[in-house]
Amino acid sequence: MRITAAIESWPIARPFTTARGTKQTAHLVVATVTDGNVGGRGECVPYPRYGDDPEVVAGTINDFQGPFDRRELLDALPAGPARNAIDCALWDLEAKRSGQLAWQLAGVPKPVDIPTAFTLPLDSASAMGQQAEAEQWRPLLKVKLGSHDVAADVERLRVVRAKAPGPRLIVDANEGWNMAALAEFAPVAAALGVDLIEQPLPEGQDQVLAGFQSPVPLAADESIRDGSNLAVLAARYQTVNIKLDKTGGLTRALTLADEARELDVGVMVGCMVATSLSMAPALLLAGRAQIVDLDGPDLLVADRQPSLPYASGCVSYSAAVWG
């Protein structure tokens, strides 16, 4: 087996602003594993929030000497983007060598016409309202908030709901609030029909959520990585956002989704801003998830080709992309 990594940069269609800052380019790393005849690919997004760097991630992949077995890989590398890219490349390789599609190998239904969230970046209330109005045909909108001014966030949400009365809404605060802000915001969100609030408090400061009776279900995002703390989070959150770049691949993500179900914790499958090559393996979790947020390619100037089919606010699996 031989493995190589390549760093890629993909322009984002409009500035992607969250409580953490603004991105205009998605920096990705693509791993390719080959047995000399067939190759498999996997894509990851090094996440600065966790101290990841594209050069370091690519170096880790290029230096990897095995094992080239997905289950042994779980012990060989820590969770994170490098392991994700290698794991997904091994899934892709296994599918091509076996003649089975990845969803068949995973034992899940073929993901077809899966409704996905579309993200509205943090901006002024009027700008977010304009984008919400333009995207109101979608089934689900994700509203980025988490500014230090909760009153301004409330106004942003009110304007978004007024301009987009039809779609389901979820809110992502990206660790931007404190407990007082959440207590002020949550009743308004409930009145406006918000389905979920993601990561309202900073990781490491969310123990105060234990026992908090939120009128809107709360989801852990930054607080959950490989899922080793799932039992603790189950007392604080009603849902966990599973992202392959955090779990270190599809293999761990599938088992984590099952563990969440056993603890009666809801599952959301999420993504970083990336191409269809990142979304395709994550899409295999759709059958285990109550909320799917795989809009990465929709946020780019252009997706890689071939790409997953995105239509009417839904996404479908395509073996031409991966698996």
Q: Which residues are catalytic?
A: 144, 243
CB 23 within 8 A of CB 48: no
DSSP-derived secondary structure for 208-270: GGTT---SS-EEESTT-SSSTTHHHHTTT-SEEEE-HHHHTSHHHHHHHHHHHHHTT-EEEE-
- State the residue for tokens 């207590």: 183
CB 78 within 8 A of CB 25: no
Instruction: Find the helix packing angle between 276-283 and 250-262, rounded to 10°.
Output: 40
Write the CA distances from 314 to 8, 220, 274, 320, integer angstroms: 26, 24, 17, 18
Q: Six-digit token pair at 216?
A: 């809107």
Q: Six-digit token pair at 212?
A: 């908090």
C-alpha 14: how far from chain center = 19
Angstrom distance (rounded) from CA 187 to CA 213: 11
Q: Which helix (H) or strand (E) holds 116?
A: none
Amino acid at 145: L
DSSP 104: H
Nearest to 310 by CA among 165, 130, 166, 111: 111
Do the bridges between strand 218-220 and strand 239-242 make them parallel or antiparallel, or are there none, so unpaired?
parallel
DSSP 300: B
Q: What region does 193 belong to: left with phi over 0, alpha with psi -120 to 50, or beta?
A: left
